Structure formats: C-alpha cells, structure tokens
Structure 1
C-alpha cells in the first residue's frame, strides 16, 4: 500500500500490490461479490449452451473421506522429489486422515488444519485425478466452487491460507517446471481477511513476463456476508471463443479480474495454456502469502477451523454462439460500472449508497488508474464523457479524472476536475467534452492531483455524441 507525506490517504482494502509469494510454486495468489446463502446447495444444472464435464457435490456419510475415483490426496510436505514445503514455505504436513479431510454429512467437504501438543500442524490437500480440464477450440471452460473459507478472523487466523486453484498438467510428475506450465488461482484467502485474490502464474521466476512470484493478480471483497461468515461462489471462465483468449475470475457472478493472452508474449502464453489442468483444494498454514500480510501461524492461531466446500463443477461450451459475451466487450454509450475494470493500480472497491446500490471504485489519488478493455464507440464520433463521482477530501484537495485511450501514458482525450462534493458517498454526475472518438478502444480512467490524498470515488461512467 502506497503512502505519501502530507494529507493521509483513506484506509483502503489490501491490494494485489502487496502480494509477494516467495517460493518455487505460487499458491492461489485476485470487484464485487454478492453474499451466498449459508445453506448447502447442490451444484446448479448447466445453463443453456453448457455441458457438465465434472461435478462433485461431496455427498456422503459424516466423517468419511473423499471419493478416490475422482480425487487423490497430496500428503507430506512436498511432492516426491519436488520443492520442499510445497514450494511456498508453508509449514503443515498434509495428510489423508479424516481428522484433516472429511465429509460433514450435510453435503460439504471439510479441510481442517490441526495442531498437536508439540505445536506441529497438519492439514489437507486434495487434487482431481483428471488433468484434462481446458476449453475446447473456440469454446469456454467454466470451473467453479461454492466455498466458505475458514470462519476465523483476527489474531486467531494468523497463518491460515485456504485455496481453490488449478495447475498445468505437465507439473504432475515433474514438479520443477513451475511457473512455465501455468497456474490458475480461482480463490485465495489469508489471515481471516475479507478479501479474495485470483491470479495467473506463468513465465519464469523470479520476475519474468508474469511478475513472479506475485503473478498477474487481482482482488476484491466478499459482500452480503464476509468470505469467512458464509458461502460464496468462486468461478474461473477460460474463454477461447474471442479473438484474444482470456481468463476471467469472478465471485458470485461478478467478474473482477481478467487476464488476456496479449498481456504476455506468445510463447509464455502457449507454455502456460496449451494443455489440460487439474484442480486443487487445500488449506495451507504459513508460507510466503501469509508472510506478506503479517506472518503466522503463531501461538495465538486457533486450529480446527475448516474450509467448507459445497460443490466443485466444471462446465464446457463449444463456442457455438450460446456463450455470454465477455465482460471486456463494452458499449461506450451504455452505463459502464466503474468496478468492472479489467486491471487497475491503486483502486479499491466499496459498497455505494448511490441510487441503484452496488459498488463504486474509491481511494483514488494521484497516479491511480483503472482499465476497461474493448469499449465500442462505433462510427459516429463520441464527443462527450460523463461520470458519477463523489469526493470527501479536505478543502484545497482536488484532482482530475482523465480519459485516455489504449495506453495510460497517452495524452488524455478529455478530463474534468473534482474537489469535494460534500462526502465520499455524496454523488453527482459531472460531464466533460472529449476529442472525437470512433472505433473500439481500451479506455483508461486516470487520476491526477497535486496532493497525495484521495480525492474522488467513481460509481459509473459513459460516453455520448
């Protein structure tokens, strides 16, 4: 989190800029969510145009293990001959014991970390036997799970690291070709924070085209109920039906992070995606990711809080036209929700009290930006821009909301100034003229100020002729 001298910035949600997972294998490193109900639910039937290729409802007697026809246990502290501590620095020993991995008798899987009298931690990690999960040519793969992360917060949650994620099939049996073979982290949570992270790992480590060991990640919060207090549906959609292959991550149906193939070089993308994947569910204790948020576990960490998994489902669409259009294709003349960004720096989201509810982006200050890909302006030039904004900065603090096309360093095509509007949820619609724009562009909202303080929130924006 960036802080500057002078007027302090508002406290914002923890963001992916803080994520620095140290180790050889980066575990599930991630807009808005609607709280899921707490009751057990079966996996939903496939929507029109989708085919179910795998499902696990975790039905069975309380205290029984998982179905080994579909799942295998990863046990010990590493794969055979692979990096120690699963490559991440985590400290638990994974077991196949029903003390750590079992069904609860109500249609849920429980993965429960335990600590013995000597202070040694055990937990559980299961993986699909299948390693062939990938979209068909020209189609889309959807992988989702309905999950409640361990219901523990504060100091008692130090070191907890639940995850729902996928590894490239070439990793199984090799264990030294990460991150080149790809990792897709659908859900990561740590330290009992009400934050969800989603990440793609690829390329080389450290550094490389995918910024390892952090990867290409985004994050959001759970709403309605916190991630710990209730079930939420975490989803990946890997889409080969668009001109640019892309991988979208969502919580409760809201896409908050997208990775596209043109964000890395062609070889890196091919090495990470031209094969199947397998699915992993686990709760680690300690390691690089918890270390980035305060460390643990320690003497104050409470064992015995399980991650609950209601179902895991994999669907496939053949790309015949029934797949919903990707979120990156946007009508310039409609309402573009600000929290639907594809990438960002310095941006947080929060619940808005503006008309219509939902979320806004906030905590915006000098140098922050948000990216909205594939905004379609058509052949008649757009000449107007408007945005729904609010500002609660102190007197004398103001800044510019700017529109840039295709590059955040391009000259702005338009802008308007914002000072205080009377509060961070005191909303008004501000118009501005812009240079004539036609065609399809990636739109950047950039925020510029002479002060380091936050100066604006944005709920939505759009364009006009």
Structure 2
C-alpha cells in the first residue's frame, strides 16, 4: 500500500562458492517477494450455511470475478462526496497493477505511486447487496487477510479495510451513516492493530458518535497483522434479545454493540433495509490515518507497492425462520423488512422527513422490504400495490415507492419501476397509495423468476415532516409472477 540490489559478479577462483551463494540469495529473494500461499478452500463451518464466497483462485494477473465484484474507480462515486467522503488521496483504478489475483489463491490490492507523486490503488464491492441476518438467526461475514506488510514511517498513510455498507447507499451516496456501516477490519499506518467499528445514525455526533463510530481495537493475536494472515469476522445476531453485533479476530471476540445501546429508529434504519454489500480496499491518506499519525499522510518516506492479500471472503447464516420463499402473487410489507404472508397484527414504519428537499425519483432514507428466493412464471401482467400511508397533520408530504425485480438473484435488477409520489392530506388517518398514481419511470422488462428477489422501497419524496407506513397485515404489493 524497493528493489533489492543484485549480487556482484564473482571472480573465477570462487566460482563454485559464488554459485552457491547466488542460489541462496535467489531463494531468499523468492521467499521475500512471493505471495504468502492461501490456506485453501473456504472453510466448512458446522451449523452454518454458506450463503456466498470468493476464494480468489484466478490466474495470476487477472481481475476479480465480475460475477462477484464490481470495481470502483476515480476519487468518488458519481455525484457522491469527494475523495470518497474520507479525505483519502488515491485514485482508484481497475488496473491489474492495483487489483488482481496473484495465482497463489489470493487477491492483491496494491497502492502505487508514480513519478509525479500521484497514488493509485483499488476498491471493489460485491455485486450482491442483500447480505442480512435472517429473522431469528445470525449473519457471519468473514475474510482471511494479510494487511500490507509495511510498518513505521514507510507505512504512514496506508489504510486497508474490509467492510460493509447498507444497500440504500447505492445510487444515493448521501444517506451515510443512517443506512449503516460495519467495518469488519480497518488498519492504518502499519500499526499492529485491528479496528472494528459500527457507523450509524447521523453525523456529526448522533448515537454512534460520528464521524468516529462505535469502535473497538486490539493487537492481532500471535504474529503481527502485517506479517501474517489473520481471520477477521463480523456477526449480526438476531437470535438474542436485544440483538447484538460482534467483532472477532482469529475467533477472539474484541468488540460488541447491543441493540439496547441505540434508539429504535437508528437501529431500524440500519437493519430494516434489503441488506449490505461488502467492500475491500486500500486507501492512502485521509482522516483516519492522518488523525492517528497527527499529521498529513502519506509522507515522503511512505513506500508504494505493499499489497493487502485476501485469501477468501465468505458469508454464512445460521438459524432463523424456515418459512418457504414466496412464489409470487400478493405479498405483505412486514415489520421485519421482508415481503411475504401477512405477519400478525398491524405494525408501522416511519418514513423520514424529506427535510424540505425534493427527492422525487430518488429514494431518501427509504423503508425497504425484500423477498428472496422468488420463483415463478411471468403472468404477462404488471405490478400492483396498496400502501397504507399517513402524514398526520403535516402539510404537503408526498410518499413515493420504487419496486425492483432481480429475476435470477445475481444482484442485477432487470426491472425497476418508480411510481409518481402520492400527496397525503393533513388529516390524521391512513390513505391508500396505489399503482393508479402511474409510473414516473421504468427500466428493463418483466419475465420469469428463478430464485430471484423483489425489493420495495418507500420514502418521503417531498415535505417537511415524517410519515407513517402501515406494515404487518396492512400494505401489500402484487407481483406478476405465479
């Protein structure tokens, strides 16, 4: 995130000795420069179900699987905060020099510096953005990683990370930290320390003490974080009450956050959407390394070319309900953020105020409901919905809905429908927002679904106050699949 000088040529009387020395030096060079071999296959964990993984077994110099990952480039998301919102200075690229398989079962992410002093590096994120803990169960996100092997002044500015962001961040880029961020592993400046952090709520300040987050840290067990692989793990446990978030290194728990530490709205905004996507990157400079170093980083002594090595990344689930996935028809928007059969009595979800800003067409802190494993034949019809919405006594609020279809569950949304917003009256009591409002925009087409996903997002598009959405056995969406 140095080349070794070649040995001098030996004289004739010492040719045999020189040859032996040369072989020894070559062997030492190989041991220094070769990538640490991967452990092998993603481990099998008794009691856990593997939901997704990448073992990075591609040929040397090849990019990570495009079916699993998308590569971020530049200094920001389109229309998002500059310098990725952190002050980091590098330009992310899709060059194999910055991100590629090493041929030994690892992914390399390598910061480089050109002759003009400009830094490049890489940042990748999973195409899937639906990693979530099952109701009554546990989500486990894990990676086996060796941090860039550099320490001291030469490491100043290095910022490797393995983390997850709430899915509503995609396409918005201004709803952080409310949508949630789980930092499974962060490190700066080559310190023998792993940080695990939760970001949530509002910034600055708020329930998660932003922009710092709620974090814990410790030294890597045994060999340092930089000199060896370690296993970094995050768990989101919905099998206990209150729910709990936990961080581990090499199976040793070092940080946890309880649902009881946060208010209900903050927890819901962080956990009630479709799920999370996973990121791997090595940044250079920025608020975190600068703050720890007490000065701007990187510095003149910072060396380029030290890679973060990733053996595998995997996601498991354990426990949870056994309700079979829906096959289409009419689905209820349920209080746990899922779509399915009516769940018990009437419940509600709060739609955040638009804050006087026009969010027409762009989800803003939406309440999100998702059905996975949807299989069925396309009926030839269209989406229908009946949402119970109420703005109370607030004047000029307008609720909006977007319905998206991922027909094969591969992370791509083949059909996305955004409906015109519905202006609720300032009289307490539910009103019915239906598809009769008409489409504002639509992309793609309907079709048969095989283990697919349906996502419903509801938000306040306009107005200056919150609204209420009826859930549980109230609001419904009807999808054209049977």
Q: Normalising TM by the smaller chain, what interval?
A: 0.5 to 0.7
Change (3 A) 1:143 1:212: same
The alpha carbon displacement at 1:142 in A equals 0.5
Which residue does the alignment assign to 1:177?
175
The alpha carbon displacement at 1:273 in A equals 1.4
Q: Which has the higher contact order (CA 8 A, sep 6+)?
A: 1
1:47-88 superposed Cα distances (whole Å, 9 cap, x missing partner): 222110101000011111110011000100000000000000
| Separation of aligned partners in 1, 2:96 and 2:37 | 23
The alpha carbon displacement at 1:124 in A equals 0.2
Selected match of 1:97 from 91, 95, 98:
95
1:114-138 superposed Cα distances (whole Å, 9 cap, x missing partner): 0000000000000000000001000
Report matched runs for 1:48-447 at 5 Å. 48-275=46-273, 276-294=275-293, 295-319=296-320
The alpha carbon displacement at 1:193 in A equals 0.2
1:180-230 superposed Cα distances (whole Å, 9 cap, x missing partner): 000000000000000000000000000011100001100010121100000
Secondary structure of the equivalent of 1:290?
helix
Q: Is the 8 A contact 2:42 2:53 kept in 1?
A: no
Aligned Cα RMSD in Å? 1.5
Q: Is the 8 A contact 1:46 1:315 kept in 2?
A: no
Which is richer in helix?
2
Secondary structure of the equivalent of 1:292?
helix
Q: Is the 8 A contact 2:37 2:104 kept in 1?
A: no
| Separation of aligned partners in 1, 2:183 and 2:119 | 24
Secondary structure of the equivalent of 1:293?
helix
Q: Is the 8 A contact 1:146 1:309 kept in 2?
A: yes
| Separation of aligned partners in 2, 1:169 and 1:132 | 7
The alpha carbon displacement at 1:42 in A equals 2.5
Secondary structure of the equivalent of 1:262?
helix
Q: Is the 8 A contact 1:131 1:277 kept in 2?
A: yes
| Separation of aligned partners in 1, 2:257 and 2:105 | 33
Q: Is the 8 A contact 1:100 1:113 kept in 2?
A: yes
Q: Is the 8 A contact 2:42 2:55 kept in 1?
A: no
Q: Is the 8 A contact 2:42 2:312 kept in 1?
A: no
The alpha carbon displacement at 1:319 in A equals 4.1
Report matched runs for 1:448-463 at 5 Å. none
Which residue does the alignment assign to 1:426?
none
Runs of 4+ in 1 over 4 A off after TM superposition: none
| Separation of aligned partners in 1, 2:300 and 2:201 | 37
Change (3 A) 1:319 1:237: same
Secondary structure of the equivalent of 1:269?
helix
The alpha carbon displacement at 1:292 in A equals 1.0
Secondary structure of the equivalent of 2:288?
helix
Structure 2, unmatched stretches of 5+, are: 1-34, 323-482
Which residue does the alignment assign to 1:441?
none
Secondary structure of the equivalent of 1:207?
coil
Secondary structure of the equivalent of 2:39?
coil
| Separation of aligned partners in 2, 1:286 and 1:96 | 20
| Separation of aligned partners in 1, 2:50 and 2:132 | 13
The alpha carbon displacement at 1:43 in A equals 4.0
| Separation of aligned partners in 2, 1:67 and 1:260 | 35
Q: Is the 8 A contact 2:138 2:235 kept in 1?
A: yes
Number of residue pairs the alignment of both structures matches: 285
1:416-448 superposed Cα distances (whole Å, 9 cap, x missing partner): xxxxxxxxxxxxxxxxxxxxxxxxxxxxxxxxx
Change (3 A) 1:186 1:199: same
Q: Answer with 1 or 2: which has the greater Rg.
A: 2
Q: Is the 8 A contact 2:59 2:101 kept in 1?
A: yes
Q: Is the 8 A contact 2:37 2:106 kept in 1?
A: no
Structure 1, unmatched stretches of 5+, are: 1-36, 322-465
The alpha carbon displacement at 1:261 in A equals 0.7
Which residue does the alignment assign to 1:341?
none
Normalising to structure 2: TM-score of the pair? 0.58
